[in-house]
Amino acid sequence: MGKMTILGVRGDRENVLDALMRSGAAEIVEDYELDSTIAHGAAFADNLDMRSRLNRTIAGLQKRFPAAKQLSLKKLTVSEEEFTFTDSEETELRALVARYEELVIEEEACEHAIAMLEQQIGQLVSWRDIPLDLSVRKTSHTTIIYGVFMDGVALDSFEADLLRGFPLATTYHLEEVGVFPAKVAIVTVNEQLPRVRTRLASCDFHEIPNLPFTGTPNATILSLEEDIDNKKEEFEIINRKLEEISDRCARLMTYHDYLLVRSERAMAEEKTTDLSYTFFINVWVPDSQAESIGRDLAAQHDIAWSYRKAEKDEETPVKLKNNPIIRAFEGILEMYGAPSSQETDPMPIMAPFYMILFGMMLSDVGYGSLLMLGTAYMLFGRKVEGKVRQMSMMLFISGISAVIWGFIFGGFFGDMVTALTMGKVTFPALWFNPMDSPVKLLLFSMIFGVIHLFFGLGLHIRNERMKGNLIGGLADSVTWYLIIPGLGLLLGSGAISGDASTVATLKTVGMWVAIAGAAFGLIFAGHGIKNPFKRLIKGLGALYGITSYLSDILSYARILALVLATSVIATVVNMLGMLVGPSVIGYIVFAVIGILGHTLNLALSSLSAFVHTSRLQYVELFGKFFVGGGSFWNPLRRKTTYVAIKEDPAPKQVG
């Protein structure tokens, strides 16, 4: 990376920024903090609000109309001409969004009205056969209360109270006496109405709500059903109007991204420095592209430019440059953070180990194949883009690793072959089956962990060498290159050979290698410190790090745990599937249980492999060398959400 300074007349500022956005090869240097009151003014707020409304409109249209939904499968390709909007078209599209919002409100009101009408019908259905005009509730001196007593005790008690205390009130049964719930009409003089209602409140009595009656319950229901039909017709009209708006969905998507690009450019304009008649701007550009960027800008605009490479200790944005396979794993690093521009790109080491560790943890031919098929569909069927494509490619490659390790460990949906054949046939393991030899897997997991850590120490040496501190890097790393293998030979030589003399020799070699490592650490850990006592203390402190290394190595036991977890769950699923036995029905049951169980196990095991493999990178590997504190290169470009802009051969200037 290097820093380019561009100087031009103020009238060309917008055109220069537009050219930089099209090139996507320059990140603006923020020499000062942007004033938020400028960046978040009225125009910015209006742009943000309109994009939010457009997002809701587009999502709503794509959710309900198939033609609009098709546009969501991949980015819509538009030309430069299609990516421009006149003031009149902007006004039209804004009005279209407002009209969509109005129609949605009308639609919701219509749905609410239909629900209320259906609820009213539900309250009247049981009264349908009652041949009374329920709209008549009052006379000049009396009131009629219609309702239902839920049980005979409440009804008998109420009628007894009427005889004693309300001689001018009576109850009429509207259906056969003795049938409950009992529909009744209670007639009372108006003077006694409050007391009658108070008594009813203490009974298990449900009064008919005050509905818009038009006569008998049946006539009222017919009227309500007619109202529902009218509301449904109104709903259909609204739906057709929304469908007409969905025909403009592609243009709404383009307009959203047009506003997004305009907002990004406005933010970029605030980062330029304006003088009386000129402006200048500083940008980070890749060293390999600096000359062509400056030459192209000078050819198109009246500008002057200068370029210098980044100084030795100057922190610059980080742009990773890897092949397509390693690039697929860059998302894992991005989730952790950017490395410093003064250190080595960890991806060429991290990516292969991530693929291997993920495959080991999943280690099943069946699960790996399903993972490959699912991600292959996303890559080549759906043709997803951006971060989703990167993640799909990472899982596809990791799925290949899982298939390879599945053959090595002999796993095909656990022990499915053995379960289906009742033990007559087993899926062969090219190396060994972890279910039969868990200690062996634990041992090799730790050995693999040591290799993983040693690569991290190698990156530490390289980083220190870049800083001019090669001796310091060697002191931090070579010590452990000797101590850890030495202790391994000293403690584990019995597992390597059964011959007593060979074991004794290995232990002796391991002891001296470990001593050599400790001596190297004591001598060089305090490199640069003149005081011998302080150098000794520094060396002893460095050797105390053996506890940290032992903890890191033990962390790789999680490989064993996840391999066994995947295999055990798969075995249990197969066992449950074969409970019925080897018969037609039994195999059908096995298929149903197998599909559900193995799908769930694949999801859980893949998630666990993803999380724990990432942890081994972040904590164990990165802990040995990673400095961090950098920022990923974020060039000024036309970032879009819904569309992909097809570049014109000769970019137009923004007038």
Give the model confidence (pLDDT) of 465-505 as tens digits: 988 888 888 888 888 899 999 988 888 887 777 788 888 89
Task: Give which of 613, 563, 609, 566 is closest to 438, Cα–Cα.
Answer: 563
User: What six digits make up the tokens of 548?
Assistant: 């940290």
Q: How far apart are CA 201 and CA 207, in angstroms?
A: 10
pLDDT of residue 379: 93
Phi, psi values for residue 280, rounded to 5° = -140, 155
pLDDT per residue as tens digits for the range 3-43: 999 999 988 998 999 999 988 899 998 765 545 444 557 88
Residue 211 clears pLDDT 90, i.e. is over it: no
Residue 652 clears pLDDT 70, i.e. is over it: no
Higher pLDDT, 525 or 160: 160
The per-residue pLDDT of the chain, averaged, comes to 90
Q: Span 51-80, mean pLDDT? A: 92
pLDDT of residue 214: 82
pTM of the model: 0.79
Residue 650 clears pLDDT 90, i.e. is over it: no
- β strands within 157-271, DSSP E: 169-173, 182-189, 205-207
pLDDT of residue 536: 67
Angle of helix 546-555 relative to helix 438-466, nearest 10 degrees, comes to 130
pLDDT of residue 651: 47
82 SS3 class: coil
pLDDT of residue 136: 86
Residue 545 clears pLDDT 80, i.e. is over it: no
Domain regions of the chain by residue span: 135-207, 324-624
pLDDT per residue as tens digits for the range 369-382: 999 999 999 999 98
What topology is assigned to 135-207 in CATH? Answer: Alpha-Beta Plaits (3.30.70)
Phi, psi values for residue 232, rounded to 5° = -65, -40
- DSSP letter (8 states) at residue 30: -
Q: Is the C-alpha dihedral spanning 257, 262, 267, 268 positive or negative?
A: positive
Report how many helices (DSSP H) and strands (DSSP E) the chain contains, helices first: 23, 11
Residue 533 clears pLDDT 70, i.e. is over it: no
Q: Is the C-alpha dihedral spanning 26, 30, 36, 41 positive or negative?
A: negative
Contact 167, 136 (CB under 8 A): no
Q: Which of 42-46, 449-453, 602-606 bottoms out in mean pLDDT, i.e. has the lowest? A: 42-46
What band does 194 get if pLDDT is binned at 50, 70 and 90?
very high
Contact 427, 410 (CB under 8 A): yes
Contact 184, 148 (CB under 8 A): yes
Residue 242 clears pLDDT 90, i.e. is over it: yes
pLDDT of residue 520: 84
pLDDT of residue 373: 97
pLDDT of residue 653: 45
| Chain Cα centroid distance, residue 221 | 49
User: What six digits make up the tokens of 617?
Assistant: 């990178």
Within 10 angstroms of residue 452's Cβ, the number of other Cβ atoms is: 22
Contact 409, 427 (CB under 8 A): no
Residue 68 clears pLDDT 90, i.e. is over it: yes
